[in-house]
Amino acid sequence: MQGMSKPNLESMNEEQLRAFAASLFSELQGKDAELKARDRMIEAKNAEIKSKTSEIHVKDLTISKLNHEMAVLKRWRFGKASEAFHGLQRSLLEESIDEDLGAIEIELDACRETPKPKKALVRGRLPASLPRVVICHEPESTVCGCGCQMECIGTDVSEKLDYVPGYFQVEEHQRDKWVCKACETIVQAPVAPHVIDKGIPTPGLLAHVLIAKYADHLPLYRQKEIYGRSGVPIPRSTMAEWVGACGVKLQPLADELRNLLLKRSVLHADETPMPTLRPGLGKTHRSYLWAYGTTPYDPDPIVLYDMTSGRAGEHARAFLGSWTGKLVCDDYSGYKALFQSGSIVEIGCMAHARRKFHDLYENHKSVIAGEALTFYGALYEVERQAKDQILDADQRKALRQEKAVPVAMKLLAWLTHKLTEVAPRSATEKAIRYSLGRWDALTRYLDDGDLPIDNNWLENRIRPVALGRSNWLFAGSDRAGRRSAVVMSLIQTARLHGLDPYAYLRDVHERLPTTPASRIGELLPGAWKASRQLH
């Protein structure tokens, strides 16, 4: 082999020749193994390069898409097209676009290998009239590695605007600089991570802005006026950037909340219209906000919103994915495809069936409708008894079998008989046929104590959206609608757990920058509440 002296084969005996051949063969095997290892390494490197190339391509496409979206929004925000709206409508549009621009900046930074350097902010001190809380940050040790005691040579001061319910205050963060004169080493406490890097808002102020916008239904232009009266003029565009950034940072919590929700075997579903502006059209488009939730009997209640461009059943299928179980919903045709395979079982809403007769009675004092309401009232009376007695699922089923099943059988016989007496195509006939046509779905709750009698629990969770819609008129964009869904999901779920949404979101914003993705579930309302109870 290369590097070896040529042996005298003629002088070797048979045994030596055999040993020499074995050594050559062993060396060849080693070289072959080494070459194969190099080939595998090259293949691994090629695969890694291919993966990185694919990842870079995906990121480039995402960056290109986001840059295009940003350019469209900026053209819409500052171009002549925005003049198609006037007054309050234009104000709300600009507010949503500013939020979207703030969100896109955060998403672009996540895609770039090196985040775009932020422009140096020239900001004056916050109003001196505001109360101040001084927070000192010191390094873990002021003793240098060489053993000398360091001396303080200065202090960096940064101000953040905090909101405590009822008033503003300034957090003055002081970070002393410590120097070791012996080895000229400088030590300073690191800057604490924040949801808004290098911004003035504290977690408390961010929580307050989100609560005011999505729970109290105060658009940012109204918040600006309120804060201005308190001596703190915050530009609306600045608050919009905060809201957009928070929407992006809170998205992982909504994703984890969805994963948790889809582990349930019984879910509620409902939807409501959400007018959404479409840049370039100069008018609103009817989008829909879907709500999905646990049952009222669930010890860890969840409600999750999903903003979509329409009401087609494909949106429900996309959200539920491979989920299987029992779905409580109304008679909307969009849900029907979900039940065809049998993996999802339809649970009807008795309140919808009752409402058909209630409308007849209220509008026409129908005697037949009054009789029907008596039957439905008896079924709901059983549910009230179960609630008052705080029964578990087995006890609830037993009570229904004893008291509700006989009423349901009488109602079925009554509906069947009355159908032969009422006028064809009348409102009364339609009300009767609605109940008879969905009878199996409406009465499945009688045989399962985990099922509710109706969908009212979730309808009450979607009602705040209707209230907000009367204040902010529409969502400023599809992205704004999705952001609203994320924040409202966290706020409404926190309320279901009896939490103060402000206290919850404030703590989440404090902990979110330092919480790894593997532990994001600790910030969900149910886990958050449990951790507080342990302490």
pLDDT in tens, 240-269: 888 888 988 999 999 999 999 999 999 999
- Residue 402 DSSP symbol: I
**Domain annotation covers residue 186:** no
The per-residue pLDDT for 100 is 67
DSSP helix/strand/coil, 189: coil
Residue 189 identity (one-letter amino acid): A
pTM listed for this prediction:
0.75
Question: How many Cα atoms occupy the beta-carbon half-sphere of 37 within 13 Å?
Answer: 6
A 10 A CB-CB count for 277 gives 26
The per-residue pLDDT for 282 is 54
**Domain annotation covers residue 381:** yes
The per-residue pLDDT for 477 is 65
Q: Residues of the chain whose pLDDT is less than 50? A: 1, 3, 80-86, 473-474
Tokens of 215: 């729970």
Is residue 276 within a helix (H) or strand (E), and if so which, with residue range?
A: strand 266-277
| Distance from C-alpha of 82 to C-alpha of 68, rounded to nearest angstrom | 18
State the residue range of the domain holding 280: 260-467
Nearest to 181 by CA among 149, 211, 203, 207: 149
CB 104 within 8 A of CB 70: yes
**Domain annotation covers residue 11:** no
CA distances (Å), origin 429, targets 227, 234, 407, 423:
57, 59, 21, 7
**Domain annotation covers residue 368:** yes
CB 114 within 8 A of CB 69: no
CB 308 within 8 A of CB 315: yes
The per-residue pLDDT for 38 is 87
Give the number of domains in the chain: 1
CB 277 within 8 A of CB 93: yes
The per-residue pLDDT for 3 is 47
**Domain annotation covers residue 141:** no
The per-residue pLDDT for 425 is 85
